[in-house]
C-alpha cells in the first residue's frame, strides 16, 4: 500500500512538472510565477526545489535496493533517467523562442536531482515496503 502511494505521488508530481514546463514553453510563466523574479536566485531555487522533489518522489517510488544496481555505484536508475530527461529539456530551450537555455539552471537541476536521491535514500529505511 505504501509503495502504491509513493508511485501515485511520483506520477502526480510528474504530471505537475510537465504542466509547469508546458506553461513555460508557451511563454506564460510570468502569469503564474512572476513573483519568482523578485526573490534573489528565485529561478535557481525553483529549479532546485522542483527537480529535487521530482527526484525524491521517483526514488522513493522506485528504490534501488542493492548498491550493485546503481550506475557507477552512486546513481540510482530513476536519478539517471530524470537527469537525462531534464538535460534534454534544458537543451531544448535553445530552440524555443520564449525560453532560455541556461547552464546555471542545468546546474541547479543537477544539484536538486542529487539531493532528491540522497534524501530518498535516507528516508527509505524509515518506510516499510
Query: Domain span at residue 121?
Result: 2-126
What does the pLDDT read at residue 93? 95
Stated pTM of the model = 0.88
The number of distinct structural domains making up the chain is 1
Three-class DSSP category at 70? coil
What does the pLDDT read at residue 37? 85
For residue 3, report the phi and psi dihedrals to the nearest 5 degrees: -65, -40
Q: Can you tell me which residue has the cell 504530471?
A: 15
What does the pLDDT read at residue 64? 78
pLDDT per 10-residue tile (average), the chain, 129 residues: 91 97 92 88 95 97 75 83 96 93 96 96 66
Q: How far apart are CA 7 and CA 64, in angstroms?
A: 14
What does the pLDDT read at residue 129? 41
What does the pLDDT read at residue 31? 87
What does the pLDDT read at residue 74? 81
What does the pLDDT read at residue 85? 96
Q: Are 125 and 60 in contact (CB under 8 A)?
A: no
Give 75's strand partners. Answer: 71
Burial-class residue 14 by CB neighbours within 10 Å (0-12, 13-18, 19+): middle
Least Cα distance to 49 among 60, 41, 38 occurs for 41
Amino acid at each position: 500500500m505504501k509503495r502504491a502511494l509513493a508511485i501515485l505521488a511520483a506520477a502526480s508530481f510528474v504530471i505537475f512538472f510537465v504542466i509547469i514546463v508546458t506553461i513555460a514553453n508557451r511563454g506564460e510563466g510570468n502569469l503564474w510565477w512572476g513573483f519568482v523574479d523578485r526573490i534573489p536566485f528565485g529561478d535557481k531555487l525553483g529549479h532546485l526545489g522542483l527537480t529535487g522533489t521530482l527526484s525524491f518522489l521517483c526514488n522513493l517510488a522506485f528504490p534501488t535496493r542493492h548498491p550493485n544496481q546503481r550506475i557507477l555505484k552512486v546513481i540510482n536508475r530513476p536519478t539517471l533517467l530524470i537527469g537525462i530527461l531534464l538535460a534534454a529539456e534544458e537543451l531544448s530551450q535553445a530552440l524555443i523562442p520564449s525560453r532560455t537555455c541556461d547552464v546555471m539552471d542545468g546546474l541547479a537541476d543537477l544539484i536538486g536531482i542529487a539531493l532528491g536521491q540522497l534524501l530518498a535514500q535516507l528516508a527509505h529505511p524509515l518506510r516499510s515496503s
